[in-house]
Amino acid sequence: MAEDVIAVFIPIIMILVTGLVLVTYFYLRSRERQMLIDKGLSAESIKEFFESKKDANRMLKIGIVIVAFGIALGLGLWLQDITHKDYWVPFSIFTITGLGFITANVIARRMKE
């Protein structure tokens, strides 16, 4: 019986969390824009402000992290098949994806300089 209740609440909780994240994002974004308007900035200066915030290397960073995640998943599944231990997949995903984030930021800093 408990599994049935949990199975019903999982999609409900996922929808609520996703909605909360989206509402928070849009609220904070509009609040930031309202603060810029309250400072008295013109439309052109606000546009320049948001253009300067964009990261030119965003897609490179995303690509490096996705490749690291794929390598980690493959390596973890391979190690799990060899050793018959269940901890290899999450261990490799967290470790190698973390290294992917670090690598992406290091490469982006070097490209910025």
Segment 17-56, tens digit of pLDDT: 999 999 999 999 889 888 888 888 777 877 777 777 777 7
Name the more confident of 5 and 65: 65
Q: Which burial class, exposed, middle or buried, applies to 100 when counting CB atoms under 10 A from its CB (0-12, 13-18, 19+)?
A: buried
* pLDDT at 101 > cutoff 90: yes
* pLDDT at 102 > cutoff 90: yes
Please report which confidence band the pLDDT of residue 1 belongs to, taking 50, 70 and 90 as the band edges. low
- Structure tokens of 71? 């390598």
Least Cα distance to 65 among 110, 88, 96 occurs for 96
pLDDT given at position 80: 93
Average pLDDT of the residues in 5-24: 92
Helix (H) or strand (E) holding 103: helix 88-112
